[in-house]
A and B are shown apart, each in its own frame.
Chain A
Amino acid sequence: MAGLRVSGPRSWDLVRKLAPFLPQELKSHQAYVGFIKNLEQNENLDQVIVLPFLEGHSFTGEESAEIFCHGSPILVDRIMTELIAAGASVAEKGEFTLRSFLNGKVDLVQAESVLELIHSESDFSARQALNQLRGKLSRKIERLESDLIWCLAHIEAGIDFSEADIAVAEEAVLKAKLKSIEDQIQEVADSFAGGRVVKEGLRIVISGQPNVGKSSLLNALAEEEKAIVSSRPGTTRDPVEVRCLVGGISAAVVDTAGLRETSDEIEAQGIAKSQKARASADINVFVVDAALLLGGPDGSLRLNSEDLELLAQSQNAPVLLVLNKIDLRPDLALLSEAQVLEKVKKNMSISEDRLIRVLCISALDTTSGTKFRGALEKFLQRFDLQGDGVLTNSRHHEQIMGALLSLREALKMLAGNQGLEFVSIELKQSLMALQNLLGKRFDDDVLDRVFKEFCLGK
């Protein structure tokens, strides 16, 4: 199935030109089934369903009609062509949403969510965009907005009605409340890291010594031959990127050039690029040749010095240590991965929270791709990906950071016993940022709350 939407004044008349089966009097939200014809009316194009929407009751807020036809791209193209011939023009990307926003059918956050929905690449971000659309983020921020207005109402009432017989919140109460708002805004802001991952995808960088099987691992994951695999060290000169889905999240898995000293200039450039790729990694998949692992006297395992050095150089991203060619080490095959992790860790000066998992694998094994994917999915639990009001948009992030900074400034002022008329400026600034985020106008909300909350007057 494919859907086409015609929106704007006289949409119904326009569609009727191609759908003569439609009655003169159309009902909104009612499905009509019939054959769509070309303009000359001499050829049936497809049997379709037409859904008309009355002005004010459609997604865009305009009179509109949706046509559902069979899903062949060629068919869709022909119907589009006929619609254009009948007077329609092709919508710009996101134009329906823009109209919907301009007609007040969706708010700014919702509109941006729809745009993200259109652009999202994977299920997970589609779900997340849907969450925002339903206003999960909006509701969360509206709650914070309301709390902030409460604080401002108490501050302003204390200033403008200091003579009135009213109990405004004491500074300690205000401080506690503001602190809690700060924490919650911080939480929303923190979700941005996870949110970015969802929207732009995860960056997984595979690194390690030459010829340890990095490309084989990537291929296993992508289940297609993206990188040239050969047994000559240094085959991968440029980072090779494969986009795939990991646990419903779109990921860019980057295979980097083997890390080694080289005199080959082209290869050296490749290595420089690879270093850059590693710097932006969310996950560093560090591959070593299991056959080259050294045994310690206490039964521990030790990476060779070159590996250790390389690992130390790479950036702060958490590390998934892959022991490839495990088939060459039957002694390790008997151990659980947790046991291997213990044994490896002993001889490494890597911080606890960076080395998260070990994966023992044979990249040439047919199950290696599945195993690798499984390890990565477990890795993702590091990120807040619950989709619960996660910030995904940089405009949102900017506003939320603005709200946070002003709020912190206000708290600092309160701590320094500075006047509430100054604190109020920062809080209003913070409130304005939240309201911008919601696409709301900064208005008399504070005074309205003052009148609601307090008994004033002569």
Chain B
Amino acid sequence: MRSSFIQRLRLFTLTGAMAGALLAVSPAFADVVVVVSAKSPVGPLTGDQISEVFLGKTSTVGSVNVVPVDLAEGNATRDEFYQKFVGKSAPQLKAYWSKLIFSGKGQPPKELPDNAAVKKAVNDNPNTVGYIEKSAVDASVKVVSP
């Protein structure tokens, strides 16, 4: 009886671990976070501040200059970031930037290919703010999103 309980416990744990692994690799559940350099003067940002910075509506938070960087168009993490923090789908975001680009009022953030490029960019310039998958966070960056 005890051995079968342990067997069932092991089976349950194994299933749970597998499920956990599945959850971790499934893109639908990947979490996106906003990061800056670990040494950056930029502090924690509210959801509204993040939205304003990435839509080019402001270039300072508090009295600190912030420069946003994007992941490339079509990147799943980028789509998730804009849906979660800004509430815009990819075409809605494109139309938004078209209005600014083609009225000479602004340019979208610079685009980078992947998480590693974003981490390098925020470390090269402490005023840079970017977003990466939560799983890509390491000691070189700190999370500033709520």
A and B are interacting partners: no
- Residues of A participating in the B interface, judged by any CB pair closer than 8 Å: none
- Residues of B participating in the A interface, judged by any CB pair closer than 8 Å: none
